[in-house]
Amino acid sequence: MLLSTLYIVGITAEAMTGALAAGRRNMDWFGVMLVASCTAIGGGTVRDILLGHYPLGWVANPHYLVIVCLAGIVTTWMASWVARNHKLFIWLDSLGLIAFSIIGCRVGMDMGLSPLIAVVSAVVTGVFGGLLRDLLCRRQPMVLHKELYASIAFFSGWMYWGLMTYGGQFGVNENYATLSTLILGFTFRMCAVKFHWRLPVFSLAEEEKTEDNAEVKVS
Amino acid sequence: MLLSTLYIVGITAEAMTGALAAGRRNMDWFGVMLVASCTAIGGGTVRDILLGHYPLGWVANPHYLVIVCLAGIVTTWMASWVARNHKLFIWLDSLGLIAFSIIGCRVGMDMGLSPLIAVVSAVVTGVFGGLLRDLLCRRQPMVLHKELYASIAFFSGWMYWGLMTYGGQFGVNENYATLSTLILGFTFRMCAVKFHWRLPVFSLAEEEKTEDNAEVKVS
Amino acid sequence: MLLSTLYIVGITAEAMTGALAAGRRNMDWFGVMLVASCTAIGGGTVRDILLGHYPLGWVANPHYLVIVCLAGIVTTWMASWVARNHKLFIWLDSLGLIAFSIIGCRVGMDMGLSPLIAVVSAVVTGVFGGLLRDLLCRRQPMVLHKELYASIAFFSGWMYWGLMTYGGQFGVNENYATLSTLILGFTFRMCAVKFHWRLPVFSLAEEEKTEDNAEVKVS
């Protein structure tokens, strides 16, 4: 219940970031709805395709698709309001990220997959929507550069998996596992944004770049 | 019968536009065949993957793949002829679009999906080939900017669905539904091209863009 | 046995080329692991999704994913060593290409698909990893321009298929088919690199380009 509320908050917020990205590329309404949909439900779709988990969520529940397209179109009317309230969006987007990760992890666990794959499923659900948005809008995928994002999906996935697997003997039930993952993951993400925590970046220096280009030319 | 003839016309025309796009990027023959295939049968492939509708069309009928690759290679020999006859191509491409949409809608209906998803299936079938072509050739996806295209797939999908679902009581059979969708959809597309009908475009003004960039940096 | 050793060599080499490409785009560690994974196991993943061959290899055997991510991270520490030894990489990458093609062809044959689709499965397995890498790193896909690459996967696929299908009556067993495809394919690839064998390139001349742009604007 809590999770499905958060899921709807999450897809709405993600759809709005998708619509803004589409607006920066001067797309038409169809483009806005396409990018909004891919951003909001692309992560879950890629996860379900990778795991062979059919039917996809939005095929079984088409109203998610309607919500997402509407959110995209509404964003075109209130872009300046959205831009002024970007702090709110960081919050909603972060809540959505953790909710997506928990849902992804659960899908993997319900399918009886190994713990690592359940956590990969969490990361894919949390991250691929934004990746698809950036590919469609032809910009450098943000998730690969900026403050911790995929790492938080990874952390939330492991935490939820751990609480669900080993928490039972300490009286941890499902709601408790969900809620504590949400709170800790959200706090972690807010700290990452505030203090600009990042993963180490791998930059090839110019000299090496030249050599590598040589390498790449022939490989 | 009519539909499968139109399907072959459609994939051939789409393969040729794919090959031309590949030629603009100086690709080799493999690239030409790859882009031609993705353009021509990519839409149906994405639809079948999203709906879990296996085996894919071209896996079951490999001769479609042969037709498409041949069309791509033949295009490299007659590029200037193709360029001179671009009006013909707009016609063939439009016929293909409507045929793809009808086929996509039928696949969704045969799988017993909800009307909205059947129409989404029509749009995906009609539109994703061109999207993949533009992603592979690294250009701004045309379908998100130009004259009505996805909207016509959407319209054709609903029309076909309506005629098939409610037409029976008025004596509308399948052939009639197919033919009238084809004629109306084609006319609609030709008008859109001639009169430059477009969906409203969502452009973020420069001022908002700057603010949004700030938003995006942290989200 | 031989094949699975070569498979691990192949995915390791591919993961390293992926990590180098990510480094050229200044990605963080998550980006490096993502690009490394897509490069190394993306080809097999795309093949399995297209053929509906579930569960995916890395879902059933998560340790492949661990190897690939580790190879990506290790590459960030030894980028200059890798750059200095690029010849070694061309060898490993070529061995991997042939191993991937043989595995892809076998998957198609085990599923009872038609010969053409089995060979397409070989090409997809060999080629799509590099394609995904180049899409994620937003550069022109190399496989569509450079020395014979997909063609060698195509050749290896047909050779393996032929030896497995018709070789039995001449006493050709599976190991022999694998080994001879490896040797011939590898030699072919090395020659292609050394003598710059390429497929014919399809370049639209400037004049035609202008006309085609007109065509494309309306199509």
Partner-chain residue, chosen from C55, C90, C138, that has the shortest CB–CB distance to A140: C138
Q: Please report the sign of the dihedral spanned by the C-alpha atoms of residue C123, residue C129, residue C135, residue C140.
A: negative
Q: Is B142 on the interface with A (CB under 8 A)?
A: no
Q: Is B112 on the interface with A (CB under 8 A)?
A: no
- The chain-wide mean pLDDT, for chain C, equals 86
Q: Say how far residue C116 (Cα) sits from the centre of its chain.
A: 18
Q: What is the pLDDT of residue B65?
A: 95
| Contact state of B151 with A30 under an 8 Å Cβ cutoff | yes
Higher pLDDT, A45 or C203: A45
Higher pLDDT, B92 or B75: B75
Q: Which of A89, A84, A105, A108 is nearest to A39 (CA)?
A: A89
Q: Say how far residue A27 (Cα) sits from the centre of its chain.
A: 22
Secondary structure (3-state) at B201? strand
What does the pLDDT profile of chain A (219 residues) look like in tens digits? 788 888 898 899 899 989 988 888 888 899 899 999 999 999 999 999 999 999 999 999 999 999 999 999 999 888 888 778 878 878 888 888 899 999 999 999 999 999 999 999 999 999 999 889 888 888 777 666 677 888 999 999 999 999 999 987 888 888 899 999 999 999 999 998 888 888 888 887 544 444 444 444 333
Q: Is the pLDDT of residue B211 over 60?
A: no
pLDDT in tens, C56-68: 999 999 999 999 9
Q: Which of B45, B197, B204 to mutate to test the interface with A (most CBs of A within 10 A)?
A: B204
Q: Which of B97, B201, B72 is nearest to B150 (CA)?
A: B97
Q: Where are the alpha helices (DSSP H) in C25-85?
A: 29-51, 57-60, 62-77, 79-84
Q: Is the pLDDT of residue C15 over 80?
A: yes
Q: Which sequence spans correspond to the domains of chain A?
A: 2-218
pLDDT in tens, B89-144: 788 888 888 999 999 999 999 999 999 999 999 999 999 998 898 888 887 776 66
Helix axes B115-136, B150-166, angle to 10 degrees: 150
Q: Is the pLDDT of residue B219 over 50?
A: no
Q: Is the pLDDT of residue B77 over 80?
A: yes
Distance in Å from the first CA to the final CA of chain B: 52
pLDDT in tens, A128-143: 998 898 888 887 776 6
- The chain-wide mean pLDDT, for chain B, equals 86
Q: Is C180 on the interface with A (CB under 8 A)?
A: no
Q: Is the pLDDT of residue B215 over 70?
A: no
Distance CA B110, CA B124 (A): 16
Average pLDDT over residues B34-58: 94
| Contact state of B199 with A29 under an 8 Å Cβ cutoff | yes
Q: Is the pLDDT of residue C208 over 60?
A: no
Is residue B111 within 8 A of residue B53, CB to CB? The reply is yes
C-beta atoms surrounding A63 within 10 Å: 11
Q: Is C137 on the interface with A (CB under 8 A)?
A: no
Q: Is the pLDDT of residue B148 over 70?
A: yes
Q: Is A5 exposed, middle or buried (0-12, 13-18, 19+ CB in 10 A)?
A: exposed
DSSP state letter for C205: -
Q: What is the pLDDT of residue C42?
A: 95
